Amino acid sequence: MSQILDEVLAANAHYQASFGDKGSLAAPPARHFAILTCMDARLDPAKYAGLAEGDAHVIRNAGGRASDDAIRSLVISYKLLGTKEWFVIHHTDCGMQSFTDAILRDLLAQSLETAVVDADGWHDVGQGPGSTEANYLSFLPIKDLVSSVVEDVQRIRRHPLVPATIPVYGYIYDVKSGQLLEVPTATAAGRAAN
Amino acid sequence: MSQILDEVLAANAHYQASFGDKGSLAAPPARHFAILTCMDARLDPAKYAGLAEGDAHVIRNAGGRASDDAIRSLVISYKLLGTKEWFVIHHTDCGMQSFTDAILRDLLAQSLETAVVDADGWHDVGQGPGSTEANYLSFLPIKDLVSSVVEDVQRIRRHPLVPATIPVYGYIYDVKSGQLLEVPTATAAGRAAN
């Protein structure tokens, strides 16, 4: 068994031992909101936004992007589980700022193994074969952090399955300080405020 | 300003005040693994799996499903940020078990507002208009929890951009006890073990 698996299961046993009455929590988020943020290991949304178990939906992917799948999750969050406000939270020093689709497709075409990065950019060091499958998808890299938040908030607001009344807030999390910095978006109170 | 926004920003100020030296953490996960799990509010992966900031990637969506977007995130996690083991963790009492694509499409066609559920199932109570846009996408509902974990682990293992050497572990989190329950999958040590 892997050391990581051992450690995760040991931590889980510890968590169970102090689980208390959390088994009685209901599925709908008690505080009726959802956060869409990045998978980055440095981010702990429960800590940086003050969530206890049962409080809020947390959706995470590479970049915290408003992908079709994130919107699938948000629609379920609102339509079936009653959240009423949503946050889009990207962060400084995001790995998604370090590449383009062309760069990642090229790396994956060379090998599937982990690449290395230096001042000259990314280099593939793995043994092939790679795959050209990445040519058929976008990895949603980020060129400019503020723009990515604004675009993602707007994409969510404009989605035909998203009601106009849901406020969608845009923020950037600063990994150096832990601070949430507001990103002005045109209609922070939702499209209804237009 | 909304009460939730007030509360989140107050919690964030508290987090910043005790941020310590976390600003020096690097982007690549220190413990080289990733967890794909559900957005459900009752789940706190950092707590149930013992993660500190900087340890591991956490990807979350409705159901913890191995959607194309989750795989996008996992490929970035491995290829650019060096994770070496992945967990797929669904959970008991998942909202994704309570509907089908047909049910959710019908609800959304009636209105975009939050529906209600009772012993007879889901009922739309909102004011229209709804949208037929949902007919063009799948919400990835779950019929059987064990099958959903097995299928998602297998989908990840078989993906052409995923190296055969990555172990992918399948688990179900019990929301009543906090326990992680292993789901036997055919090749838990990765395709390389076949």
- By DSSP bridging, strand B33-38 and strand B85-91 are parallel
Query: ipTM for the complex?
Result: 0.96
Looking at the complex, does the CB of residue B73 fall below 8 Å from at least one CB of chain A?
yes
**A23 domain-assigned:** no
**B144: distance to nearest CA of chain A, Å?**
18
Same domain for B82 and B31, yes or no, is: yes
pLDDT of the residue at B26: 96
pLDDT of the residue at A187: 56
Same domain for A85 and A159, yes or no, is: yes
Structural domain count, chain B: 2
Domain range holding B181?
26-97+145-194
| Residue B60 per-residue DSSP state | E
For residues B11-47, one letter each, b for 16 or more C-beta atoms within 10 angstroms of the residue's C-beta and e for the rest, the string is: bbeebeeebeebeebebbbebbbbbbbbbbbbbbbbb
As beta bridge partners, residue A116 has: A123
Mean pLDDT throughout A186-194?
A: 47
**A172 domain-assigned:** yes
**A12 domain-assigned:** no
For residues A161-184, one letter each, b for 16 or more C-beta atoms within 10 angstroms of the residue's C-beta and e for the rest, the string is: bbbeebbbbbbbbbbeebbbbebe
Q: CA-to-CA distance for A176 and A5, rounded, in angstroms?
A: 30
Same domain for B34 and B130, yes or no, is: no
Burial of B171 (0-12, 13-18, 19+ CB in 10 A): buried
pLDDT at B190 over 50: no
pLDDT digits (tens, 9 = 90+) for A142-162: 999 999 999 999 999 999 999
Same domain for B104 and B92, yes or no, is: no
A-chain CB neighbours of B40 within 8 Å are 27, 57
pLDDT digits (tens, 9 = 90+) for B93-150: 999 999 999 999 999 999 999 999 999 999 999 998 999 999 999 999 999 999 999 9
CB A34 within 8 A of CB B39: yes
Backbone angles phi, psi at B122, to 5 degrees: -85, 145
- By DSSP bridging, strand A168-173 and strand A85-91 are parallel
**B3 domain-assigned:** no
**B59 domain-assigned:** yes
Nearest to B19 among A19, A54, A177 (CB): A177
Same domain for B109 and B178, yes or no, is: no
**B5: distance to nearest CA of chain A, Å?**
9
pLDDT at B191 over 60: no
Same domain for A126 and A148, yes or no, is: no
Q: CA-to-CA distance for B89 and B98, rounded, in angstroms?
A: 18
The distance from CA B19 to its chain's CA centroid, rounded to whole angstroms, is: 27
Same domain for B58 and B154, yes or no, is: yes
CATH number at A185 reads 3.40.1050.10
Same domain for A64 and A155, yes or no, is: yes
Same domain for B150 and B69, yes or no, is: yes
Same domain for B116 and B160, yes or no, is: no
Mean pLDDT throughout A93-104?
A: 98
**A80 domain-assigned:** yes
pLDDT digits (tens, 9 = 90+) for B123-138: 999 998 999 999 999 9
pLDDT at B187 over 70: no
Same domain for A40 and A134, yes or no, is: no
Same domain for A87 and A107, yes or no, is: no
| Average per-residue pLDDT for chain A | 95
Instruction: Give the confidence band of A193 by pLDDT, cuts at 50, 70, 90.
Output: very low
Looking at the complex, does the CB of residue B42 fall below 8 Å from at least one CB of chain A?
yes
**B4 domain-assigned:** no
**A183 domain-assigned:** yes
pLDDT at A192 over 70: no
